[in-house]
Structure 1
C-alpha cells in the first residue's frame, strides 16, 4: 500500500482529544461542538500503489482537511497515517519535510505558482528544493512542460498564461519532482468545463504511463467517476461509502449517495464489462450449418457468433446463409462466415457502444485480450443501463436480432435434409429480408 489511514480523526478547537473520545463513544458531530469542530471522523482506508483514489463530498464534508493530514500539513488528532509503511503521525517537522520532498507532491486548486518566476523555474521548483543542479532541473522541467502541452512557454511568466495553462504548469511541477504520490486538492475545479475535461484526460494518460499513486479531492461526481479507480464519499467528516465507481453508481449506500449519483452521466462511467450478458447464440467453428441453423431457430435470432477452440471469436453467420448451405448439402460453416460487425473490450465505456449498436443488427460482442468472446451487449441492455433498469422483464423477452427466416421454414428444411445429404424442398424459397 502507498497510503494507509486507520481510524484518523481531526478536530479543531480547544479540547480536541476530549471531542475524539466522545466521538469514539458514539457522539455525533453536533454533540461535540462545545469541545471543537470535528472535520474528519474515524477515517479508514488504504490507497494502493498506482491507483487514482478519489475523495469526494460537498463543501464542509472534510475532504480537504483529510488530504492535508496525509502529508502532515495538518496535525492528526487521533489515529494512524502511514506512507509506504512509515508512520507520519508524530513525525518531526524535518521528517515531514523529507516525506513531502521525496515521496509526495501536491497540486493545488489555485495553481500556487510563484508570480515572479518563469514557467520553467516554476516547473523546476520541486527539483530545486531537492537540491538538483540548475541545468539538470531545468532540462527535466522543460521536458515535462513539453509533455503537458506547454512547449514554447518556458520563458513566460504565469500571468501570461490562461488558467488551464497555469494548471498544466502545476502538473509539470508535480511530475517533474518525481515523487511516488501526488495529492491533488480540487486541482481542476477552477477551470472551464472543456479545459477541465482536457486536464482530466491528460492526468489519466500520464498516470497510466507512469503508474503514479494519486489521491484526488473533488466535489464533482462526474469527475470522480471519470478519474477514480476507487472513490470515498464523505459527509460531515465521515466516509459514508468506499468503492469502485460502478459500486457507488449501481449500489449507493444511502440516500445521500443516491442523490449524488442520480445525475451522473452513466454512459461515461459504466463499461461494456459492467453491463454485458453471457453470449447465448454461439456455435463452435467445428459445427456444421445444420447445428448453427438449429441454434438460431431455438434462440429465435437471425445470426449467431462463431468461436474456435478456446472461445476465440472468429466471426458470425446468418440464418439465411445457413439455410442455403443446408440445402446445398455443405457441411462447412466457414463457407458463409462473415466478420463480426461490432467488437469492444470490457474496459470501453458504454458511450462508445451506441453507434456500434445502431449500425449492427447483432448485439455488440465483448472480447478479452486474447480475442475470446466473454459477453454481449444487446440494445435493450445498453438502453436499460442508462436508467439503471433491469434488462429482463416477465412479459417481453430479449430477442435480438429478430429472425430473417421463419422458424417453420428452418424446421421444415432441417426435417427434409440429413447431415451431408441435401434434399432441397422446392416449395421453400427465401429472399433477402423476407421468407415465402
Structure 2
C-alpha cells in the first residue's frame, strides 16, 4: 500500500501548526561533484534525472534531492533507507557538518544556513547533539571523562562537569564503570557512553546516525529499549537514522522512507505498514 508523501504529512492528532517545528527542512539538496555542475542541478533540467543519468550528464551525485519535512517538538522522527539512500548525508546537513547545496533549513525558526561559525558551534554544542555508529570515544580517558568531554569544551568547571557526567552515566545504566577505559567495555557499553556524552550537553535534539548497526542483536535491542525509555522519561526530540524497518517501527512516531536521495513516503508507523 503506497501513500502520497504530501497526503501523509498532516496528522490530525498532531500539535497545531502554530507550534514552531524544531527542525524545518524545505527543498533541501546536497550535490557532490564539480561546483559548476552542482550549482545547476536544483531547479534545472537535470533535477529529475535518475542517479546514473545525472552522473553521466553532470559528473555529480545528488545524495539528497529536494527533501522537505518538519520535526515536531518531542517526537522521534525516523529516517529509514537502504545504504546509499542519502539518510546519513541528510542528518549531517541538519547541523551543517555537511553543507547543503540548496534549500532551506531552520531550527526553532532560526535560519541554520545563515549561521556564522560561532553560532554553528553553539548549535552543535548545546542544541543538537550527534550520536554516531562509531562511538568516537577517547581511548586514554575514563568513562566519566569521556562523558564530561563536551562540557569541558564548553568551559564548565571540573566539579560541575564531573557531577553532570556521573548523573548521565547512571542514567544510561553504567554505574560502577566510571573509571574504566573504553577498551575495557563491550560494544553496547561503549555506545551507552556515547549516548551519555550526548545527553550531558542537555541538547534540545538528539541526532542518531545508525547508532546500533554495529551491535549484536541482543545488545541492539537493549539500546533500543534505552532510547525508548529516555524518550518516555524526558520527551526529548530525536531524529533517528536507520536501515532497519523493525527498529524504525519500534522507535518512530513518524517515519520518512528515503530512496535515491528523495523521501518517497512519510507517515506514522501504522501508515507506513
> TM-score w.r.t. structure 1 length?
0.56
Deviations 1:152-183 (A, max 9, x none): 11111000000000000011111111010000
2:112 equivalent to 1:88: yes
Tell me what 2:88 maps to. 64
| Cα separation, 2, equivalents of 1:100 and 1:52 | 19
Tell me what 2:179 maps to. 155
Query: Unaligned 5+ residue runs, structure 2?
Result: 1-20
2:39 equivalent to 1:17: yes
Task: Give the alignment's Cα RMSD to 1 decimal.
Answer: 1.2
2:26 equivalent to 1:6: yes
Deviation at 1:23, TM superposition (A): 6.0
The structure whose Rg is larger is 1
- What are the within-5 Å matches in structure 2 for residues 152-191 of structure 1? 152-191=176-215
- Structure possessing the higher relative contact order (Cα contacts under 8 Å, 6 or more residues apart): 2
2:247 equivalent to 1:218: no
Query: Unaligned 5+ residue runs, structure 1?
Result: 250-436
2:158 equivalent to 1:134: yes
Runs of 4 or more, structure 1, over 6 Å off, are none
- Contact 1:56 1:221 (C-alpha < 8 Å) held by counterparts: yes
- Quick one: structure 1 residues 44 and 141, their matched pair in 2 at CA, closer, same or farther if it must change by over 3 Å? same
| Cα separation, 2, equivalents of 1:232 and 1:23 | 26
Q: Partner of 1:240: helix, strand, or coil?
A: strand
Q: 2:139 aligns with which of 111, 115, 120?
A: 115
Q: 2:64 aligns with which of 27, 37, 40?
A: 40
> TM-score w.r.t. structure 2 length?
0.89
- Contact 2:23 2:106 (C-alpha < 8 Å) held by counterparts: yes
| Cα separation, 2, equivalents of 1:100 and 1:121 | 19
| Cα separation, 2, equivalents of 1:140 and 1:134 | 10
- Contact 1:23 1:32 (C-alpha < 8 Å) held by counterparts: no
- What are the within-5 Å matches in structure 2 for residues 300-379 of structure 1? none
Tell me what 1:308 maps to. none
Q: Partner of 2:168: helix, strand, or coil?
A: helix
Deviations 1:356-402 (A, max 9, x none): xxxxxxxxxxxxxxxxxxxxxxxxxxxxxxxxxxxxxxxxxxxxxxx
2:229 equivalent to 1:209: no
| Cα separation, 1, equivalents of 2:50 and 2:255 | 24
- Contact 1:60 1:236 (C-alpha < 8 Å) held by counterparts: yes
- Quick one: structure 1 residues 160 and 35, their matched pair in 2 at CA, closer, same or farther if it must change by over 3 Å? same
- Contact 1:52 1:213 (C-alpha < 8 Å) held by counterparts: yes
Deviation at 1:140, TM superposition (A): 0.8
